[in-house]
Structure formats: structure tokens, C-alpha cells
Amino acid sequence: MALSKRITGLTGGGSDGWDVYYRAKEMIEAGEDVAMLTIGEHDVGTDSSILDAMDAATRAGHVGYSMFNGNLNLREAVARRVTERTGVKTTPDNVLVVPGGQAGLFAAHHAACDEGDRALYIDPFYATYPGTIRAVGARDVAVAARPERMFQPDPTDIAAAAEGAKSLLINTPNNPTGAVYGRETLEGIAEVCREHDMWLISDEVYDTQLWVGDHVSPRMLDGMAERTLVIGSLSKSHAMTGSRIGWVVGPEEAISHMGNLSTHTTYGVAGFVQEAACYALGKGADFEEEVAAPFRRRRDLVLGLLEGQDVVRPIPAQGAMFVMLDVRATGLSGEVFAETLLDRRKVAVMPGESFGQAAAGHVRVALTVPDDRLSEALARLVEMAAELAGVAA
């Protein structure tokens, strides 16, 4: 039996970009000591008090069907958080609870795009972006953010691709580059969206991991609240990746229709997870800073370790739990460098090409292992890069 073109075409007919990760996992399972600097998974688990709240909610009976669009108490908590952080009035009717940010991306593109519509996104991109767009039947169109601009997208480039497009997906703070889009960049993007009548889908799951500058949600900008769908999640801010709990914030009509989509797809999010999410949000900004603190420290650690040499050039991450490294001085692509690093030094990093062609010749390092382990892995990476480039480390 033939499978649908939509399901078989999610990865564009090629690799899903995770080859190094899969191979590193196999090596670890075979007993090899590999420094895993690949995925954005916290090296500490979910806080025990949140787990206690989840357990208590389970035992209190929150195990049946929940509201398909999210329970009111959680939507109220998210609405308060968004209002406080952005200054934009947000009510529970502006909030859809979803099983993680990925489900939010899927729902938002369903709301914005019809079959065959052009949907823009910025390259470099998180690995699921093009597949998410293809999954709703839209045509994915990448717009490059260039390394010479520190991966800040150029609104002029977006405008050149915007004719006939229905949506634009952005991510700030950015995975994989660590770039935080400045207000000027976002004002330019907003102008393009208004002029071309596009939806702006803003992935803001790293909004609590900010090291330089300010986080500006485009929903704050003039005329953008009615055309912006914001993706949020507790995965990164509260180390709750496996709980699969997030939200979409947007105009009431769009959120209402996406609630209908939830009825026909996820059928809601487990009630005990929603109760734990309410508790987690109630822990406040100080707790979120505590979760973020190791990544701020490790970002500074990596930048310090790379001083005094110019073979491996870091993109000075402004946010998120990654640092992007330019390894073009070695003469290798990011993909070949990552494969070689895994083979020769037992360090696993993600090739820049896993996130699009704009980051070719780069690798992404996840700041998700203890400081000493990270320092040792970086030393091995720099040593190999220097050998390849024919210079002293």
C-alpha cells in the first residue's frame, strides 16, 4: 500500500539532520565515553517540588479528560504571565494549551496556512520547522540569516520572499545560533508582515534564557497583536521537557479555531500535567532565573575558553542554551567536522547544516553538561580544529 506524499515527505526526502546524534547515542549504548553536546536537554531533572505537585494532582483525581483547549486555571496563569512580561493585555481566551511547543507550531501553521500556501521561516532553523510546515500541506520557504550579520535576519531579504506568502516563522532567542533579535530587526519584520498581510508565528520558548539585550515579543509592536501567534513552553524555562506542556497566544478567533483542532488531534493535555504547570508558573521569575543560570555561566565559560585562538570562532550567543561555532578555517563542512570530531575525539556536536544552509561550516554546541565536562570537550574540539587547520592550538 502506498503511503501519503505528505507523511513520506516530512523530511524533504533526505536526512532529518540528526545523524550525528543517533550515531553518538549508539556509541554510548555500546559503552564508549562520548561527550554529548547535541540536544537542548537540561542536565538536571524537573524540580522535585513540581513533580510533587504533579503527583498530588494525580492522586487528587486530575486523571480524566481535561478541557480540550486547556483548563481555565492554566490559561489564566499563562495570560497573567504574558501580560506581565510584555505589557500586552492577554486573557484566557487568547491562550490555547498544547502538549509542548512543537504541537503549538503545528497548530499555528494550521491556523495560518491552507494547502499549497507559501510559509516562510528563517535559516538557520530548529530542525522540525520545515517538516512542520510540510505536515500542514504548505510549502516551506527558507530565508537566510547570514553569519556576517551574527545571524540577525534582514527584513529586506524577508520582503523579497514575501510575495504571496501566508506566514513567517521566527525564533528569538534563537536555536541554534543564540541570536536575540533586536527591536530594529523585529520592527522591520513587523513592517513586512503588515505590508504583505502575513501571519507572524513567533517561537519564544527560550524567552527566559537571555544573556545580552532585551527580549521583545513582536506581539508588543504596533498592529501586530492581531496577526501574531506566539509559541510558549515550560520545557526550557522550567526544565519540563518530558512533561510536554506549552501554549499558543494569539487573537481570540484564531485561538478558538485552534481549540477545535485540538479536539480533533491531541484531545487535550493531561490534567495532572496542567496542574503541575500552574504550580510551576507560580514559582515566579526567580525560579526561572535559577533554571537558566547554568547556561549563562557555561556560555561565558565557552567564550572564555575560545579566547586567544581564531581557528574556532564563536558566534557570541545572546540567549538560549547553545553556542554556534564557525569552523570554516578547518576547510571542512560542519557536517564533516562533526563526524570527524565524534570519530577522533568522542565529542558529539550538531552540524550547522542540520539547521539549514546558512549555518554551513558551523557546529552547534549544547551547554547541557557539567562545566568540567564541557571544558574538556571544548579543549578536544579546539585541539582537533587546530590540527586540521595546521596551526598550534
CA dist 56 to 194, 271, 345, Å? 47, 11, 45
How do residues 165-187 score in pLDDT, each as one tens digit?
999 999 999 999 999 999 999 99
CA dist 140 to 122, 124, 132, 221, 227, Å? 10, 13, 9, 26, 19
Q: What are residue 36's phi and psi, to 5 degrees?
A: -95, 100
Name all domains of the chain by residue range, CATH numbers in brackets: 5-45+286-385 (3.90.1150.10), 64-283 (3.40.640.10)
Mean pLDDT of the chain: 96
Residue 14 pLDDT grade (very low, low, confident, very high; cuts 50, 70, 90): low
Mean pLDDT of the region 55-60: 98
Q: Which of 139, 89, 141 is nearest to 113 (CA)?
A: 139
C-alpha span between 116 and 31 (Å, rounded):
47
How do residues 226-235 score in pLDDT, each as one tens digit?
999 999 999 9
How do residues 151-164 score in pLDDT, each as one tens digit?
999 999 999 999 99
How do residues 72-115 score in pLDDT, each as one tens digit?
999 999 999 999 999 999 999 999 999 999 999 999 999 999 99
CA dist 148 to 144, 145, 215, Å? 11, 9, 22
pTM of the predicted protein model? 0.96
The letter for the amino acid at 389 is A
Residue 316 in grid coordinates: 557570541
Q: Which of 271, 274, 226, 265 is nearest to 247 (CA)?
A: 274
How do residues 316-344 score in pLDDT, each as one tens digit?
999 999 999 999 999 999 999 999 999 99
What per-residue confidence (pLDDT) applies to 13? Answer: 65
Mean pLDDT of the region 66-73: 96
Residue 393 pLDDT grade (very low, low, confident, very high; cuts 50, 70, 90): low
Residues whose CB is less than 8 angstroms from the CB of residue 361 and which lie 6 or more positions away in sequence, other chains included? 326, 327, 328, 332, 333, 334, 352
How do residues 267-286 score in pLDDT, each as one tens digit?
999 999 999 999 999 999 99
- Residue 48: exposure state from Cβ atoms within 10 A (0-12, 13-18, ≥19): exposed
What per-residue confidence (pLDDT) applies to 16? Answer: 62
What per-residue confidence (pLDDT) applies to 390? Answer: 86
Residue 80 in grid coordinates: 497573567
Total number of residues shown for the chain: 393
* Omega before 124 within 30 of 0, i.e. cis: yes
